Amino acid sequence: MRKWIVPSPANRLYLALAELRHHWRNFPVAHMMLFLEVARNDLEKHGWGVLEIGERLDITQATVSRGIVDLSARTVPSGGTEPIDLVTTEADPKDHRKRIPVLTAKGRRVYDKLIRIMDE
């Protein structure tokens, strides 16, 4: 932890949010929430699709879809030089029409770092 930050839950949260900003300078709060919900979906193996994640976050399916594109390897954020590449989608083995949002390898590393920050 940075020397100037006294360990506390609020300061750990600040550092976790700063870590996300490292990947996208103007990381929208809605995208942060989406990233964490996708991480939970992936790591806990819920198998939620875009519709279910939208319901959990109380946002539209279109907003979830756009957020996933923004967090994927397909979009370079303004002011950036590389795609964020934190999230991708995989086909649902039970329903080929449905896509399941999951973390990329980079997304998993970022998530693990956030957890380490929060556990300090």
Which domains does the chain possess?
9-119 (1.10.10.10)
End-to-end CA distance of the chain: 8
pLDDT tens per residue across span 8-57: 778 888 888 888 888 787 888 889 999 999 999 999 999 999 999 999 99
Q: Tell me which residue has tokens 């193996």.
A: 45
Q: How many CB atoms lie within 10 A of CB 44?
A: 9
- Using DSSP's 3-state secondary structure scheme, residue 77 falls into coil
Which helix (H) or strand (E) segment holds residue 19: the answer is: helix 9-23
| Among 39, 51, 28, CA closest to 86 | 39
Whole-structure pTM value: 0.84
The C-alpha atoms of residue 116 and residue 112 are separated, in whole angstroms, by: 6
